[in-house]
Structure 1
Amino acid sequence: MRNIKPELIAFIDDKLKNNGSAQYALREGDARSLFIYAAEACVGQMEKGVNSGYFVELCQRTVDNYAGGEAWCMAFIESMLSYVEHKLGVTSPVFSSEHCLTVWQNTPDEQRVRNRPLPGAIIIWRHGNTSNGHTGIVTEFLCDKMLTVEGNTGNGSFREGDGVYQKKRSTNIDGDMRVMGFLIPFTKLAV
Structure 2
Amino acid sequence: MKTSDKHHYEILKMALIKPGIAILIFFVGMIAFGLKAQEVQMVSSLKATELRVRQIYTSQIGIREKHSNSGAEVEKYLRYVNLPKGNPWCAAFVCWVFGQANVENPRTGWSPDLFKGSKVIWDKVESRKLKAKSLSGESGNMRQDPIAIGSRKYAYPTSQTTDNRQQVTPGTGDIFGIYFPDKKRIAHIGFIDQWQEDWVITVEGNTNMEGSREGDGVYRKRRPVKSIYQVARYIR
TM-score norm. by structure 1 comes to 0.71
Q: Are the counterparts in 1 of residues 106 and 114 from structure 2 also a CA contact under 8 Å?
A: yes
Q: Are the counterparts in 2 of residues 32 and 185 from structure 1 also a CA contact under 8 Å?
A: no
Partner of residue 119, structure 2: 111
Unaligned runs of 5+ in 1: 1-23, 86-90, 174-178
Name which of 92, 96, 99 aligns with 1:75. Answer: 92
Q: What are the superposed Cα offsets for residues 121-161 of structure 1, whole Å, 9 maximum, x if unpaired?
A: 01111112413510110000221101000000001242110
SS of the residue 2:81 aligns to: helix
Superposed, 1:12-161 pairs within 5 Å as: 29=45, 30-64=48-82, 66-85=83-102, 91-92=103-104, 94-104=105-115, 107=116, 109-114=117-122, 116-130=169-183, 131=185, 133-161=187-215
Q: Are the counterparts in 2 of residues 59 and 76 from structure 1 also a CA contact under 8 Å?
A: yes
Query: C-alpha distance in 2, partners of 1:171/1:33?
Result: 23
Q: What letter is aligned with 2:96?
A: S
SS of the residue 1:133 aligns to: strand
Question: Given the alignment of the two structures, is residue 182 of structure 1 paired with residue 235 of structure 2, yes or no?
Answer: no
SS of the residue 2:75 aligns to: helix
SS of the residue 2:222 aligns to: strand
Q: In the comparison of the two structures, how many residue pairs are matched?
A: 147
Query: C-alpha distance in 1, partners of 2:65/2:233?
Result: 28
Which runs of at least 4 in structure 1 moved beyond 3 Å after TM superposition? none
Query: C-alpha distance in 2, partners of 1:163/1:73?
Result: 9
Query: C-alpha distance in 1, partners of 2:121/2:110?
Result: 19
Q: CA RMSD in A?
A: 1.9
Partner of residue 158, structure 2: none
SS of the residue 1:59 aligns to: helix
Q: Are the counterparts in 1 of residues 114 and 232 from structure 2 also a CA contact under 8 Å?
A: no
Identity level (%): 24
- Larger RCO (CA under 8 A, 6+ residues apart): 1
TM-score norm. by structure 2 comes to 0.58
